[in-house]
Amino acid sequence: MSAPKKLFIKTYGCQMNVYDSERMAEALGAKGYVPTDTADDADMILLNTCHIREKAAEKVYSELGRFKGLKAEKPDLKIGVAGCVAQAEGQEIMRRQPLVDLVVGPQSYHRLPAMDDAVRSGEKALDTDFPEDDKFDTLRSRAKAKRGPTAFLTVQEGCDKFCAFCVVPYTRGAEVSRPADRIFREAQELVDQGVREITLLGQNVNAYHGHPQGLAGLIWALDKIDGLARIRFTTSHPNDMDEALIAAHGTCDKLMPYLHLPVQSGSDRILKAMNRKHTAENYLRLIERIRAARPDILLSGDFIVGFPGETDQDFEDTMQLVRDVHYGQAYSFKYSTRPGTPAAEKPQLPEDVMNERLQRLQALLREQQQATQASMVGREVKVLFEKAGREVGQMIGKSEYLHAVYAKAPAEVLGQVRRVKIIEDSPNSLAGALVD
- The answer to whether 187 and 228 are in contact (CB under 8 A) is yes
Helices (H), 274-342: 280-293, 312-325
Q: Which of 375, 397, 415 is the last residue of a domain?
A: 375
The tally of domains found in the chain comes to 3
Domain holding 421: CATH number? 2.40.50
Angstrom CA distances, 24 to 64, 80, 194, 321, 415, stand at 19, 12, 21, 40, 25
pLDDT for the residue numbered 137: 66
Residue type, 8: F
Which pLDDT belongs to residue 193? 94
Domain of 36 in residue numbering reads as 5-127
pLDDT at 52: 66
Clarify whether residues 338 and 387 are in a common domain: no
Beta bridge partners of 220: none
What is the spatial order of strands in the sheet that 329-334 belongs to?
A: 258-260, 298-305, 329-334
d(CA 64, CA 53): 18
Strands 125-127, 102-104: pairing kind: parallel
Query: Same domain for 418 and 385?
Result: yes
Classified as helix, coil or strand, 6 is strand
**pLDDT tens digits for range 46-101:** 999 887 665 677 888 888 999 999 999 999 999 999 988 888 888 889 899 999 99
Residue 131 confidence (pLDDT) above 90: no
252 among the known binding-site residues?
no
Both 363 and 399 in one domain: the answer is: no
3-state secondary structure (DSSP) of residue 97: coil
Q: Model pTM?
A: 0.85
Of 375, 396, 417, the one marking the end of a domain is 375
pLDDT of 133 > 80? The answer is no
My answer on whether 365 and 405 are in the same domain is no
Pair 404, 423 in one domain: yes
Kindly state whether residues 215 and 359 are assigned to the same domain.
Answer: yes
Q: Which of 301, 199, 297, 300 is nearest to 257 (CA)?
A: 297
Q: Are 123 and 147 contained in the same domain?
A: no
Same domain, 139 and 108: no
User: Is residue 360 domain-shared with residue 393, that is, in the same domain?
Assistant: no
Residue 211 to residues 171, 181, 281, 392, Cα–Cα distance (Å): 25, 9, 30, 46
| Segment 171-196, tens digit of pLDDT | 778 899 999 999 999 999 999 999 99
Q: What is the CATH number of the domain that holds 259?
A: 3.80.30.20
Q: What is the CATH number of the domain that holds 53?
A: 3.40.50.12160
14 is in an annotated binding site: yes
306: left (phi over 0), alpha (psi -120 to 50) or beta: left
Same domain, 368 and 226: yes
Same domain, 409 and 326: no
Q: Are residues 350 and 369 in the same domain?
A: yes
* Domain endpoint, select from 100, 127, 154: 127
3-state secondary structure of 101: coil
Query: CA–CA separation, 260 vs 263, rounded Å?
Result: 10
**Model confidence over 209-266: pLDDT tens digits?**
999 999 999 999 999 999 999 999 999 999 999 999 999 999 999 999 999 999 999 9
Query: DSSP code of 253?
Result: T
Beta-carbon neighbour count of residue 264 at 10 Å? 25
